[in-house]
Amino acid sequence: MPKRTFDCRNSTQPGIVHIDETDTEEKLDLPWNVVVHNDPINLMNYVTMVFQRVFGYPRQKATLLMMEVHTSGRSIVWSGAREQAEHYVHQLHGHQLLATLETSEP
Partner 1 sequence: MTSFTIERIGEDAVSINGIDDATLALLHEVPSILHYRSHPSVSKRLFPDVKPGDEQVSEEFHEATDPDLEYLFASAEEILIRDLAGIRDGSIEIPDTHVRAWMSALNQARLILAELNQIDAADMGRGEFDPDEKKDLAVLKIHFFGFVLHLFIDL
84 vs 93: CA distance, rounded Å: 14
Q: How many Å apart are CA 56 and CA 73, to the nearest integer? A: 22
Give CA–CA dist 9/96, Å, rounded: 21
Size of the site for partner 1 (CB under 8 A): 31
Interaction between residue 95 and partner 1 (CB under 8 A): yes
Q: What is the footprint of partner 1 within residues 4-23 (CB under 8 A)?
A: 4-8, 11, 14-15, 17, 19
> Distance between alpha carbon 91 and the CA centroid of its chain, in Å?
7
Interaction residues for partner 1, span 27-46 (CB under 8 A) = 39-43, 45-46
Contact residues for partner 1, defined by CB under 8 A: 1, 4-8, 11, 14-15, 17, 19, 39-43, 45-46, 49, 86, 89-90, 93-96, 98-102
